[in-house]
Structure 1
Amino acid sequence: MSRWWIILIGIVLLPTLPAWHSRARVEDIKTRFQQRLIEFERTAERLELSYPLDTVNSRQSFLNARLAYKRIEWLVEGYDPVMARQINGPPVDEVEMEDQVLIEPQGFQVIESIIFPRLDTTRLDELQQECEQLTINAGLLRKHPWLNELKEVNFWDAMRLELARIATLGIIGYDSPTVQYSLPEAIASLEGCEDLLKEYEEVPDIQRLLAEIKQSLQSEFDDLDRSAFLTQRLRPLCKALEKYQQELGIKSLEDDGRFLMPTAWWIFDEQLFRPELYSPHPEWMATEERIALGQKLFSEPLLSGNGQRSCATCHQPGQAFTDGLPKSIAMGNHGSVPRNAPTLWNAALQATLFQDARSASLEMQIADVLRNPLEMDASLASAVDKLSKNKAYQEAFQKAYGELNPPQVMNALAAYLRSLERLNSRFDQYMRGNDAALNLEEKRGLNLFAGKAKCATCHFLPLTNSMLPPSYEHSDVEVLGVPANADLSNPRLDPDRGAGVIANFDVLRYAFKTPTLRNVEHTGPYMHNGVFQTLEEVVEFYDRGGGLGIGLNVPNQTLSPEPLHLSVHEKSDLVAFMKTLTDLP
Structure 2
Amino acid sequence: MQYKLNLGKEASIVSLFLIYITCLFSCKNTVETTPVPTNTSETVITAIKAQFANDLELCIQNVASLQKAISIDSIEYYFKKSRLTFKRLEPILSFYNSANYYGLNKANLPKIDEGDNAEKVIEASGFQALEEAITATKIDTTIVHSYANDIYRKLRLEQKHNSILKHTDYKFLWLTRQALVRVMSLGISGFDSPVLLHSIPENREVFVSLETYFKLYASHFKNQKLYQDWIHALQAAQNAFDEAEDFDSFDRYTFIKDHLHPMLSLWNQTVTDWQVEFPLQQKLNYGIDSFFAEETFNANAFKPSYSPKITPEIAQLGKDLFFDASLSESGTMSCATCHQPEKAFTDGLRFSVDNQGNMVQRNSPTLLYASLQQAQFYDARVTNLENQILDVINNEKEFHANTEMIIGKLMNNLAYTERFKKLYKQGIDHKSVRNAIATYIRTLTPFNSKFDRNISRKETSLTAEEVLGFNLFMGKAKCATCHFAPIFNGTVPPYFAESELEVLGVPNTKIWENATIDDDLGRYHYAKVALKKYAFKTPTVRNSSQTAPYMHNGVYDTLEEVLKFYNLGGGAGIGIKLENQTLPADSLHLSNQEIQAIISFMYTLEDQLEKSL
TM-score (norm 1): 0.91
Separation (CA, whole Å) in 1 of partners of 2:175 and 2:461: 31
Aligned pairs for 1:543-582 within 5 A:
543-582=567-606
Q: Structure 1 residues 241, 418: CA separation in 2 closer, same or farther (over 3 Å shift)?
A: closer
Contact 2:354 2:397 in 1 (8 A): yes
Tell me what 1:13 maps to: none
* Equivalent in 168, 174, 198 of residue 185 of structure 2: 168
- Partner Cα separation in structure 2 for residue 408 and residue 421 of structure 1: 22
Partner of 1:253: 278
Q: CA deviation at 1:110?
A: 0.9
User: What CA distance in whole angstroms lies between the structure 2 residues aligned with 1:73 and 1:360?
Assistant: 29
Q: Is the 8 A contact 1:157 1:262 kept in 2?
A: no
Q: 1:288 to 1:232 in 2, by over 3 A?
A: closer
Q: Which amino acid aligns with 1:345?
A: L
Preserved CA contact (<8 Å) 1:164 1:265 = no
Residue in 2 aligned with 1:340? 363
* CA-to-aligned-CA distance 1:266-321 (integer Å, 9 cap, x gap): 43344121222232233433333322221111112222121211111111122111
- With over 3 angstroms needed to count, the CA separation of the structure-2 counterparts of 1:21 and 1:98, relative to structure 1, is farther
Contact 1:337 1:375 in 2 (8 A): no
User: Which residue matches 1:6?
Assistant: none
SS at structure 2 position matched to 1:331: coil
Map of 2:86 onto structure 1: 69
Distance 1:289 1:544, change over 3 A: same
With 427-436 and 210-219 compared, the bigger mean Cα shift is at: 210-219
- Secondary structure in 1 aligned to 2:186? helix
Counterparts in 2 of 1:183-194, with a 5 A limit? Answer: 183-194=200-211
% identity of equivalent residues: 35
Task: Compute the displacement of 1:99 (Å).
Answer: 8.4
Q: Secondary structure at the match of 1:133?
A: helix
Alignment pair present for 1:380 and 2:397: no
Q: From 435, 441, 445, give the equivalent of 1:417.
A: 441
Candidates 365, 385, 393, aligned match of 1:370: 393
Written as runs of structure 1 = structure 2, the 5 A alignment for 1:145-544 is 145-201=162-218, 203-218=227-242, 219-247=245-273, 249-251=274-276, 253-255=278-280, 257-264=281-288, 266-333=290-357, 335-402=358-425, 403-434=427-458, 436-544=460-568
**Counterpart of 1:30 in structure 2: which amino acid?**
K
In structure 1, the residue corresponding to 2:216 is in which secondary structure? coil
1:131 CA drift (Å): 1.9
Question: Of 42, 52, 66, which aligns to 1:23?
Answer: 42
Q: Distance in 1 between matches of 2:303 and 2:251?
A: 39
Query: Is structure 2 residue 169 aligned with structure 1 residue 144?
Result: no
CA offset digits 1:140-171 (Å, max 9, x no partner): 11122431321233123212211221111111
Secondary structure, counterpart of 1:284 in structure 2: coil
Cα deviation for residue 490 of structure 1 reads 4.9
Paired AA for residue 210 in structure 1? L
Q: Using a 3 Å threshold, how does the CA distance of structure 1 residues 236 and 98 change in structure 2: closer, same or farther?
A: farther
Give the partner amino acid of 1:320.
A
Residue 91 of structure 1: how far off its partner (Å): 0.7
**Equivalent residue letter for 1:370:** I
Tell me how large the CA RMSD over aligned residues is.
2.2
- Measure how far apart 1:509 and its partner are: 0.7
Displacement of 1:433 after TM fit?
1.4
**Residue 479 of structure 1 contacts residue 556 of structure 1 at CA under 8 Å; is this kept in 2?**
yes
- Which letter maps to 2:276? K
- Number of positions where the alignment pairs a residue of Structure 1 with one of Structure 2: 561
CA–CA distance in structure 2, aligned partners of residues 321 and 86 of structure 1? 38
Cα gap change, 1:269/1:282 in structure 2, threshold over 3 Å: closer, same or farther? Answer: same
Query: Within 2, Cα distance between the matches of 1:401 and 1:96?
Result: 38
Q: Deviations over 1:48-78 (max 9, x none)?
A: 222xx22221121111111111101001111
Q: Evaluate the alpha carbon distance shift between residue 244 and residue 143 of structure 1 in structure 2; reply closer, same or farther with a 3 A threshold.
A: same
Query: Unpaired runs of 5+ in structure 1?
Result: 1-9, 11-18
| 1:55 and 2:72 matched | yes
* Counterparts in 2 of 1:265 and 1:57: CA distance versus 1, 3 Å: farther
The CA distance in 1 between the partners of 2:64 and 2:188, in whole Å, is 27
Return the alpha-carbon distance in structure 1 between the equivalents of residues 133 and 479 of structure 2: 24
Query: 1:397 offset after TM fit, Å?
Result: 1.9
- Quick one: which amino acid aligns to residue 374 of structure 2? A
Aligned-partner residue type, residue 334 of structure 2: S
SS in 1 for 2:536: strand
Cα deviation, residue 134, structure 1:
1.1
Q: Tell whether the 8 Å contact from 2:208 to 2:238 is kept in structure 1 after alignment.
A: no
SS for the counterpart of 1:559 is coil
SS at the partner of 2:502? strand
Counterpart residue number, 2:33: none
1:388, distance to aligned residue in structure 2 (A): 2.1
Instruction: Check conservation: 2:299, 2:442, Cα contact below 8 A.
Output: yes
| Contact residue 375 and residue 499 of structure 2 kept, 8 A | yes
Kindly tell me: are residues 205 and 276 of structure 1, through their superposed partners in 2, closer, same or farther at Cα, counting changes over 3 Å? closer
Residue pair 2:55, 2:88 contacting (<8 A) in 1 also: yes
- Give 5+ residue unaligned stretches, structure 2: 1-9, 11-37, 219-223
Distance 1:95 1:410, change over 3 A: farther
1:233-275 superposed Cα distances (whole Å, 9 cap, x missing partner): 333344335434533x2525332x4212244464334412122
CA distance in 2, matches of 1:319, 1:392: 30
- TM norm structure 2: 0.87
Larger mean Cα displacement after TM superposition, 377-386 or 448-457: 377-386
Equivalent residue letter for 1:274:
N
Residues 481 and 548 of structure 1 are in contact (CA less than 8 Å); yes or no, is this contact kept in structure 2?
yes
Cα pair 1:352 1:359 within 8 Å, conserved: yes
Letter in 2 for 1:233: H
Please identify, of 238-247 and 518-527, the stretch whose mean Cα deviation from structure 2 is larger: 238-247
Assess if the C-alpha contact under 8 Å between 2:210 and 2:234 holds in 1: no
Q: What residue identity is the alignment partner of 1:301?
A: A
Distance 2:606 2:114 in 1: 32
SS of residue paired to 2:439:
helix
Measured in 2, the distance between the counterparts of 1:26 and 1:131 equals 31
Question: What is residue 53 of structure 2 aligned with on the other side?
Answer: 34
Counterparts of 1:392 and 1:269 in 2: how far apart (Å)?
35
SS state at 1:397 partner: helix
Equivalent residue number for residue 3 of structure 1:
none
Alignment CA distance shift 1:405-1:246 (3 Å): closer
C-alpha distance in 1, partners of 2:115/2:184?
Answer: 30
